[in-house]
Structure 1
Amino acid sequence: MDEALLRSLTPGVLAVLVRRGADFAAAEDAVQDALVEAVRVWPRDEPRDPKGWLVTVAWRRFLDATRADAARRRREDLVEEEPAAAGPVTGFDDTLQLYFLCAHPSLTPSSAVALTLRAVGGLTTRQIARAYLVPEATMAQRISRAKRTVSGVRLDRHGDVSTVLRVLYLVFNEGYSGDVDLVAEAIRLTRQLAAQVDHPEVAGLLALMLLHHARRPARTAPDGSLVPLAQQDRRRWDTRAIAEGVGILQPALARDRLGEFQAQAAIAALHADAPTAEETDWVQIVEWYDELARLTDSPVVRLNRAVAVGEADGPRAGLAALAALDDTVPRHTAVAAYLHERDGDLERAARLYAEAALKAPDLAERDHLTRQAARLNNRGGR
């Protein structure tokens, strides 16, 4: 049994049922029944048209489960007039419509991510729960609420691409916890979206993911500790992923419809292009951060810009840029520590590193900042 084939077909089959008028929760139950039947039947009799087979079985299961309802009888009449399962079911746009449904603005970001992984990614509730490090029952409730929310939403028009991209970006940023690599899953889903949507920001997001993911092997030391970008062994970067990311980004930028993901990818490409940290083109990176700040007006972007200014024009220029920002922005204290260290104020930098460690969002970052404080304290003889 080809589990990868079943997983790839599931979103399209689900979308066909929803497009025909089935509510989301009932449609998913029917598709799951069809998948169970496929596992039982296909090893001895695999169909010529696997997706058409799944659509036929799932639709029949849906009708069986709702036959007593008059509305469902009307849908039976509709399917008799248009028996979609009689031949191959291409459904090129079906999965695309699921993206928009799962990124519906009525959903919270966490619910939209969970529903996308469930409906489009084909992950089980247990896999998603493990990836998020929450109990399976908690994730089941979250997904169930999300399905109820979108059950009455009609798939009669395309939604907002930017909302879909933001959901995929959230999936990417979840990291590598659990038994499902959410970064790899986000790249897979974004590739799928890019194959269906000709939009420079979709290409920009895919390029950004590939360029960041290319540095993954060098981001941690053998003991699991974080390795800052400047100290990473660039020989461990995935050059094929970098080349692919740059190759996707350049045509997108040439279309002159700049968006935030393209700008972020351009910054990542400049980092990837530098043979050493010292050869990084920080002046151009600052220019891209200026574009990104204009597009988003994000305090996090302005924080990262302060770091880039500190590299391009010196730490005091970076500290001046930092002084204009709200000190409650996440990682503000860590950036201040780094810039003060670059400026030679080791005592103040050590104190700020220790303060930043207390605010760190995860254990790995906390340990890294604690080590930076200890390193400077040891250099100062304290």
Structure 2
Amino acid sequence: MRDRMRFCVPCLFGVEGLVAQELREMELEEVQAENGRVLFSGGWEAMVRANLNSRFGERVLLLLGEFPARSFEELFQGVKALPWEELLGREDQFPVTGSSLSSQLHSVPDCQAIVKKAIVERLKAKYRLSWFPETGSLHRVRFRILKDQVSVMVDTSGEGLHKRGYRAQSNEAPIKETLAASLCQLSRLRSDGHLIDPFCGSGTLLVEGALLALRIAPGLQRSFTAQAWENVPQSLWRQERDRARAQERRETGFSAQGFDIDPAAVELTLENARKAGVEEYISASVRDIRAFSQEGRYGCVICNPPYGERLLDVRQAQQLYQSMGSLFRPQRGWSFGIITPDPEFEALFGRKADKRRKLYNGMIQCQYYQYFRGEEKGRDAAPTAPR
């Protein structure tokens, strides 16, 4: 492949700015944020670095090409024109998946077949073979057709980047690791801060907060599809893992506390903290939210309180929000972040948020309500992000 390529990082709507900023901090080039994705340029080294270090992105895709297509013939010719032989060997696997939105070519199965056929025809001409066994390394091809504009990509990550490797199990309503990390960043969690989650569940917010505060790369404990690609040197993976470990800062004074009414959730939190290698920074215990108290001069509360879809569950959730409003008191040095899909949250909580942001928890549209103004002179008490 070429020394300089274009890559794409799909992400949750609402966190594109966070992804763009983290890619720039990785010293990656030509970073460009778009709706639902962020682009950057570089060689294989840049791809490896993004996979290992991205906290907020969903995966890293090699962007092979983009072109307009309003007919199957245009789609076929556009895909066939791409340099597939530079990436795919004679035996490599190349399954095709994709999506289409607001486009003339709206049948995804038909588009999949056309894309597959175009790749095969290109490889037939280059390798002078009539068929391909596809028993080698995996190169999952993804296409996106949006308003008749085709993007053709190859997945370098494999499992989504939210799969950090520490959460084999979770409670019934887990928050995605990438979203949890985003909430910690939006709350400007300090590297020496004190993080509290009074509804800790499986501990995802606490673990992601620790990884962020301690500068531990989230991808160190997992593997990636591109590790098996012949044209990506293994030395790059070793080099970038060493680079990531050298940036860790474990002596920061950071601590995190989790509480939950379910003893099994508390045990799961502690187990996941151990698997992530941050157990010494995280404590968890059984406690009802009504026993919450603001102890100490500083605290950063981030939580994903339970909510339900049945009427009774909704009523219980709303009563919970009212309790939180009386327990989470404005105080200098303390900040509170609550993510919920309930549009009546502020009225139930009893105060308008100092800041709110639309985010998605899976397919559920939510708001992230942030409270950080203390009683003293109404000044912003939100701590700064780790450096």
Which band: TM-score by shorter chain?
under 0.3
- The answer to which structure has the higher strand fraction is 2
Structure with greater contact order relative to length (CA < 8 Å, sep ≥ 6): 2
- TM-score normalised by structure 1 residue count: 0.24
The structure with the larger Rg is: 1
- TM-score normalised by structure 2 residue count: 0.23
